[in-house]
Chains A and B, each alone.
Chain A
Amino acid sequence: MASESPSIEHSQKVNAARPIFLALAAWIVPGLGHLLQRRWGRALIFFVAAGGLAVVGYAMRGEVFTPLSSDPFGALGFLADACSGVSYFLPRFLEAAGPDISRAAGDYGTRFIAAAGIVNLLGVLDAYAIASRRRS
Chain B
Amino acid sequence: MVVFALLVSIVLAGLARRTAAERIRYALWTLLAFLLVGVGIAWLMYPFSR
Contacts and interface: CB of A to CB of B under 8 A. Distances in A.
Contacts of A49: 7-8, 10-11, 14
A112 B20 contact: no
A41 B14 contact: yes
Interface of B is mostly: helix
Interface of A is mostly: helix
Interface string B1-36: 001100110110111000010010000000000000
A23 interface: no
Which of the four size classes fits the interface of chain A? Answer: 10 to 19
Nearest to B3: A56
Q: Which of B3, B4, B7, B8 has the most CB of A within 10 A?
A: B7
